[in-house]
């Protein structure tokens, strides 16, 4: 709105200036020659006073012999010529002979002023007004959205929040691969003189929170070069055609500051496979991607610009991005293992006062599957909890309690549930716990609770004792049974027609696991192959659909196998529950009182696992 006002004022002032000029022109016309009538002219000519008659366009003026006299403008009929006047008013031949007659072209100024200005002026004002208006709109855009400009967040080497490799725990192999890039950025000449070819693009691959952004920053920090940071989704905003020009702008800025790093976070937002879009597919995303490819091919590899991109979906990236000379180097970041987790905890514990009894090792043990971001979040939650409890130092209890918060969302103790619902939840969770406890391939149950967390009514927590990279069929079977434990108990206790909506997500998860067992892991009677190649098709900007590589008949067979796994799991769960009914009742009783029971209680109630 500011811009609008400003432009309005400019146009207003311009209007005044033009009006002023117009006034001047008019005034000149008024002040100029004195006007005389035709009869006066005839009189003067016949008296021999006139030296010259000037005919200019439609106007007629007289210059008298008397040098001091002003030019006289003759008031005549619009289309009457001087000849007509001579004829009609009886100017004598003798006086005509002394007279010189000059015919002039129309004065351009007067012509313009008189005829065109009234037409052109409004037009000019109109154009001017629109010009400023549109400039104003663009101005607003570039403020708010960086119209066509990349506006990358730039981090300069002397930034206070600079990261280095020391800030990244674990990820040893990844760091090793990137040291090379750092060395090159530090001294590009050394490498180019040796004729060495340096990678233009490095793709960081890893699930969310594994430290991709952090690592890219650390590379820039280690090399002491500027870091241009943009996220894939920022290229594609609102306006068509903006993405490509932003890419251009981003690279231009980086090239100017070379050696430098261009970091494109979440590149899958723009770098998805092309041509899969419906309806021709010349969309914004595609143009942006094309521009990235053009830029990457365009600059000299020895210039010292390295493009780092991050994604958690390398499978959906356009193959063109991964060709030599582009993102041909790939660095994978895995979820941290127990040693890495301990290190990551160490880094994030640095600025927090910890109780001396806290064992980071023990916390690392309890957090398999946590990403670096989860661990950072965990310690943060623990610190908040410590403050809330009015303690001086973060204790182990606070950290362990925060694990569940990070895993399952905050407790919702205030949600009021009826005793009846609490009972259903208790039976349901006890069902999970008992089936899990007596299925030896399941991880031990660490905690059962009827306190609602996030969207779950209650929860049963099991924790692996070690990091697992593989899953066996036996484990899948036991896990399926445990997943259905809650559902089975509800059926047994409350009857088939009193089953609640509570287990719906259990059923969904169990179905997904069973499907994966059949279609991905070849664990069913259908045997040694996978079904569905799972490449993503992009439908109208992002949906996905598995590509079927099997017939309808096979689809039926798959459904049957999935059903078999689930039926078998339900049967096993039912057997376990049926043979441990007293333990089930004990656990429910304890849950109704304590609401949350820990591993020691569970083992006391249920006895040994076998």
Helix (H, G, I), strand (E, B) or coil at 431: helix
Closest-by-Cβ residue to ligand ADP is 372
In the complex, minimum distance from the CB of residue 433 to Zn ion, in angstroms, rounded to a whole number: 10
Evaluate whether 247 touches 235 at the Cβ level (below 8 Å). Answer: yes
Closest-by-Cβ residue to Mg ion is 213
* Sole binder of ligand ADP in the list 60, 168, 181, 435 (CB under 6 A): 168
* Sole binder of ligand ADP in the list 23, 118, 208, 325 (CB under 6 A): 208
Nearer to Mg ion, 265 or 490 (CB): 265
Nearer to ligand ADP, 209 or 485 (CB): 209
Q: H helices of 327-447, where?
A: 338-349, 360-365, 372-388, 396-408, 419-438
Is 188 among the residues that bind ligand ADP (CB under 6 A)? no
CA distances from 162 to 123, 224, 227, 551 (A): 56, 9, 10, 55
Q: Which residues, in sequence order, are bridge partners of residue 54?
A: 61, 102
CA distances from 609 to 44, 260, 440, 605 (A): 136, 58, 7, 11
Partner that binds at residue 136, options Zn ion, Mg ion, ligand ADP, none, CB closer than 5 to 8 Å by kind: none
CA distances from 296 to 202, 300, 315, 379 (A): 12, 9, 21, 40
Report how far residue 328's alpha carbon sits from residue 197's, in angstroms, rounded to the nearest whole number. 12
Query: How many residues of this chain interact with Zn ion, rule: CB under 5 A?
Result: 2
Q: Catalytic pick from 222, 284, 343, 429? A: 429
In the complex, minimum distance from the CB of residue 330 to ligand ADP, in angstroms, rounded to a whole number: 15
In the complex, minimum distance from the CB of residue 458 to Mg ion, in angstroms, rounded to a whole number: 33
Residue 512 Cα to chain centre, angstroms: 30
208 DSSP assignment:
T
Q: Which stretch binds Zn ion (CB under 5 A): 117-125, 157-165, 319-327, 481-489?
A: 481-489
Give the x/- contact pattern for ligand ADP in 410-449, rule: CB under 6 A.
Answer: ----------------------------------------
In the complex, minimum distance from the CB of residue 372 to Mg ion, in angstroms, rounded to a whole number: 11
* Sole binder of Mg ion in the list 61, 63, 150, 213 (CB under 5 A): 213
Nearest by Cα to 156 from 231, 232, 253: 253
Helix (H, G, I), strand (E, B) or coil at 77: coil
Residues 211-270 contacting ligand ADP, CB under 6 A: 211-214
Partner that binds at residue 170, options Zn ion, ligand ADP, Mg ion, none, CB closer than 5 to 8 Å by kind: ligand ADP
Q: Which stretch binds Zn ion (CB under 5 A): 299-307, 499-507, 573-581, 595-603?
A: 499-507
Rg (CA), the chain: 43
Is 486 among the residues that bind Zn ion (CB under 5 A)? yes
Report how far residue 289's alpha carbon sits from residue 227's, in angstroms, rounded to the nearest whole number. 21
Q: Which stretch binds Mg ion (CB under 5 A): 119-127, 185-193, 213-221, 336-344?
A: 213-221
Check if 429 is active-site.
yes
421 DSSP assignment:
H
Partner that binds at residue 486, options Zn ion, ligand ADP, Mg ion, none, CB closer than 5 to 8 Å by kind: Zn ion
Contacts (Cβ under 8 Å, ≥6 apart) of 198: 181, 184, 188, 191, 192, 301, 302, 306
Partner that binds at residue 376, options Mg ion, Zn ion, ligand ADP, none, CB closer than 5 to 8 Å by kind: ligand ADP
Q: How many CA atoms lie within 13 A of 439 on its CB side?
A: 32
Report how far residue 76's alpha carbon sits from residue 79's, in angstroms, rounded to the nearest whole number. 8
In the complex, minimum distance from the CB of residue 428 to Zn ion, in angstroms, rounded to a whole number: 6
In the complex, minimum distance from the CB of residue 501 to ligand ADP, in angstroms, rounded to a whole number: 34
Give the x/- contact pattern for ligand ADP in 323-362, rule: CB under 6 A.
Answer: ---------------------x--x---------------
In the complex, minimum distance from the CB of residue 418 to ligand ADP, in angstroms, rounded to a whole number: 41
Partner that binds at residue 506, options Zn ion, Mg ion, ligand ADP, none, CB closer than 5 to 8 Å by kind: Zn ion
What count of other Cβ atoms lies within 10 Å of the Cβ of residue 2?
A: 10
Nearer to Zn ion, 222 or 404 (CB): 404
Is 479 among the residues that bind Zn ion (CB under 5 A)? no
Residues 500-529 contacting Mg ion, CB under 5 A: none
Nearer to ligand ADP, 161 or 551 (CB): 161
Contacts (Cβ under 8 Å, ≥6 apart) of 580: 434, 438, 606
HEC assignment per residue over 259-315 = CEEEEEECCHHHHECCCCCCCCCCCHHHHHHHHHHHHHHHCCHHHCEEEEEEECCHH
Is 506 among the residues that bind Zn ion (CB under 5 A)? yes
Is 602 among the residues that bind ligand ADP (CB under 6 A)? no
In the complex, minimum distance from the CB of residue 377 to ligand ADP, in angstroms, rounded to a whole number: 8
Partner that binds at residue 259, options Mg ion, Zn ion, ligand ADP, none, CB closer than 5 to 8 Å by kind: none
Evaluate whether 247 touches 288 at the Cβ level (below 8 Å). Answer: yes
Evaluate whether 562 touches 511 at the Cβ level (below 8 Å). Answer: yes
Residues 294-323 contacting ligand ADP, CB under 6 A: 310
Residue 78 Cα to chain centre, angstroms: 71
Look at strands 445-449 and 459-462 and give their pairing.
Answer: antiparallel
Q: Which residues bind ligand ADP (CB under 6 A)?
A: 168-171, 206, 208-214, 310, 344, 347, 372-373, 376
**Catalytic residue IDs:** 429
Q: Which residues bind Zn ion (CB under 5 A)?
A: 486, 506
Q: Which residues bind Mg ion (CB under 5 A)?
A: 213
């Amino acid at each position: 709105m500011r811009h609008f006002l400003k432009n309005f004022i400019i146009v207003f002032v311009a209007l005044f200036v033009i009006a002023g000029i117009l006034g001047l022109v008019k005034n000149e016309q008024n002040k100029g020659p004195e006007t005389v009538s035709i009869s006066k002219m005839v009189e003067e000519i016949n008296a021999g006073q006139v030296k010259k008659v000037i005919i200019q366009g439609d106007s007629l003026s007289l210059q008298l012999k008397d040098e001091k006299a002003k030019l006289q403008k003759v008031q005549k009929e619009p289309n009457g010529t001087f000849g007509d006047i001579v004829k009609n008013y009886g100017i004598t031949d003798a006086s005509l002979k002394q007279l010189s007659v000059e015919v002039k072209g129309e004065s351009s100024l007067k012509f313009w002023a008189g005829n065109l200005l009234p037409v052109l002026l409004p037009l000019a004002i109109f154009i001017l007004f629109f010009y400023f208006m549109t400039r104003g709109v663009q101005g607003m855009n570039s403020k708010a959205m960086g119209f066509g400009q990349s506006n990358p967040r730039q981090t300069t080497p002397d930034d206070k929040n600079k990261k280095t490799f020391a800030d990244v725990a674990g990820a040893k192999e990844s760091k090793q691969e990137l040291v090379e890039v750092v060395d090159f950025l530090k001294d590009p000449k050394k490498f180019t003189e040796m004729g060495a070819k340096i990678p233009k693009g490095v793709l960081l691959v890893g699930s969310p929170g594994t430290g991709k952004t952090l690592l890219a920053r650390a590379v820039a920090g280690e090399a002491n070069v500027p870091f241009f940071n943009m996220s894939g989704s920022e290229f594609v905003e609102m306006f068509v055609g903006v993405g490509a020009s932003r890419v251009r702008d981003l690279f231009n800025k980086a090239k100017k500051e070379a050696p430098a790093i261009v970091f494109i976070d979440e590149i899958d937002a723009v770098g998805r496979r092309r041509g899969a879009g419906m309806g021709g597919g010349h969309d914004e995303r595609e143009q942006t991607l094309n521009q990235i490819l053009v830029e990457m091919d365009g600059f000299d590899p020895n210039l010292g610009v390295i493009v780092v991109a991050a994604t958690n979906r390398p499978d959906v990236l356009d193959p063109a991005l991964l060709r030599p000379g582009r993102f041909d180097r790939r660095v994978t970041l895995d979820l941290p293992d127990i040693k890495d987790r301990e290190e990551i905890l160490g880094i994030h514990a640095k600025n927090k006062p910890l109780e001396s009894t806290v064992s980071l090792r023990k916390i690392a043990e309890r957090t398999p599957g946590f990403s670096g971001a989860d661990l950072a979040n965990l310690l943060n939650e623990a610190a908040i909890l410590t403050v809330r409890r009015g303690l001086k130092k973060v204790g182990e209890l606070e950290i362990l309690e925060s694990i569940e918060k990070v895993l399952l969302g905050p407790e919702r103790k205030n949600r009021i549930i009826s005793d009846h619902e609490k009972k259903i939840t208790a039976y349901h969770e006890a069902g999970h716990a008992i089936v899990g406890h007596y299925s030896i391939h399941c991880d031990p149950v660490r905690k059962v609770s009827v306190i609602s967390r996030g969207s779950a009514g209650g929860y049963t927590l099991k924790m692996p004792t070690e990091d697992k990279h593989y899953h066996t069929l036996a484990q899948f079977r036991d896990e399926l049974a445990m997943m259905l434990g809650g559902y089975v108990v509800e059926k047994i206790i409350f009857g088939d027609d009193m089953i609640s909506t509570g287990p719906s997500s259990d059923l969904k998860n169990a179905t997904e696991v069973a499907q994966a067992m059949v279609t991905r892991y070849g664990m069913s009677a259908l045997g040694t192959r996978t079904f569905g190649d799972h490449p993503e098709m992009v439908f109208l900007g992002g949906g996905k659909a598995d590509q079927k590589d099997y017939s309808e008949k096979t689809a039926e067979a798959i459904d049957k196998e999935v059903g078999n796994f689930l039926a078998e799991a339900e049967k096993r769960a039912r057997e376990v529950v049926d043979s441990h009914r007293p333990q089930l009742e004990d656990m429910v009783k304890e849950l109704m009182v304590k609401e949350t029971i820990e591993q020691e209680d569970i083992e006391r109630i249920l006895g040994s696992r076998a």
